[in-house]
Amino acid sequence: MQPKNIHNLFNDFIDDHLCFVYRGSFSNKTVTNLTNLVVGSLDDVSGFVSLRNRLSFLMIESIQNIAKHGDKSEDKSGGEGFFLTRNVGNTFFITTANVMEGENVSALREILEKVNTAADKNELKNLYVTVLTDKKISDKGGAGLGLIEMARKTEQKLEFDFVPLDEKNSLFYLQLRIMNKKALENPDVEPSIPISVARNFYERSCKDDFVMLHRGSFSEDVIFPVLNMVEHDMLRHALSIQKKMFFVLVELLQNISKHSYIKNGEREGIFVMGQRTNQYILATGNYIHNSEVELLKNQLVQINGVEKAQLKDLYRELLREETETISENAGLGLIDIARESKEKLLFDFYPVNSEISFFSIVTTL
């Protein structure tokens, strides 16, 4: 993963107020962390504060669909799958993907089509009761009921797709659309993001090895659910790796929430986590004022030019210094990141306009 990939990802979701992607195993804790993250970042202007409960419900329901029905690897506590949520305009999209047995596809498709052809709330309710009492379906764990609930709560058609993986398995994509009051008043101007966009993105996340992406406004409190997510994900690793990750992550995220350029009252940024065998990649990107580019660049070049052992000396020196200018504090954070990185820091700056640039940094652990 290169700084330019982070810049591209940031721009791919440029219209999103919030975008969160997670690929991996889904435990109950993951569900809680994810809903906290999304619901916690809703602000008054989003028009979704009053829909908070409905959003949580729908997120939980779709993630539990993965947890229950997704393919379970032996070493994982929950099911494996993919989750993507985006808030664009006045619409929220929740997309999930999980592996299922190909032989169950036609039955699931049938339920989905029934749900989508139900003319109104009443018909959905009747369908709900039918499925509830149908013994044939109920022993499948009630997948059908969840889907009907989703349709009732979103009041929109369920979008879905099945992609055969091999002779036995298929990938099942499901996308929910939740519109707030403004969107319902004027649905024609709302973004129409087809499910294929999420599908392409899932394939890209597999190809580029990234497991988490968060794009949105980074305030001090928004970063905590992200920290919780990563922390929970790292529990299966040795303590020292967990600690390294956390130390680096805190510095990276707080670099955005403390030092990034405030545009329209928000500190917009992106965090991406990648995973390869024995290797984690943590990357962030955010706007900075053009007048700060030179200083930051010099600091990073200096840090990259120093050997690991010397970095520690540099760190100690800065710790002892009495003065506390903002740039020095930022410098200490960057050294913190560099000393735990396996490789030199990768970074770049992309001019946006006469006032700001986009700064992106990639570290490997």
Partner 1 sequence: MNPIFLEKTKKSPKILLDKEKGLFEISGRSIQEDSAKFYTPIIEWIKEYAANPNPVTDFQFNLEYFNSSSAKLIVKILFELERILKTPNKINVTWIYEENDDVSKERGEEIASTVKLPFEMKAIPSTT
Instruction: Output 260-267 pairs: Cβ under 8 A, ≥24 positions apart.
Output: 260/218, 260/286, 260/287, 260/288, 261/286, 261/287, 261/288, 261/289, 261/356, 263/287, 263/356, 266/217, 267/217, 267/218, 267/219
Q: How far is the CB of 35 from partner 1 (least distance, A)?
A: 17
Q: How far is CA 115 from the centre of its chain?
A: 28
Cβ of residue 335: shortest distance to partner 1, in angstroms? 8
How far is it, in rounded angstroms, from Cα 278 to Cα 281?
10
DSSP state, 264?
A: T
Determine if 309 is a binding residue for partner 1 (CB under 8 A). Answer: no
Helix residue ranges, H only, 70-161? 105-117, 121-133, 135-138, 143-154
Interface with partner 1, residue 325, by CB under 8 A: no
Tell the smallest beta-carbon distance from residue 185 to partner 1 (Å). 38
Q: How many CB atoms lie within 10 A of CB 231?
A: 15
Q: How far is the CB of 130 from partner 1 (least distance, A)?
A: 46
How many residues of this chain bind partner 1 (CB under 8 A)? 28
- Contact residue for partner 1 among 45, 119, 309, 319 (CB under 8 A): 319
Q: Which is nearer to partner 1, 240 or 278 (CB)?
A: 240
Q: Which is nearer to partner 1, 74 or 324 (CB)?
A: 324
Q: Say whether residue 233 binds partner 1 (CB under 8 A).
A: no
269 CA to centre of own chain: 12
Binding letters toward partner 1, positions 140-169, x by CB under 8 A: ------------------------------
- The binding site for partner 1 (CB under 8 A) comprises 220, 224, 235, 238-240, 243-244, 246-247, 250-251, 254, 257-258, 312, 315-316, 318-320, 324, 329, 332-333, 335-336, 340
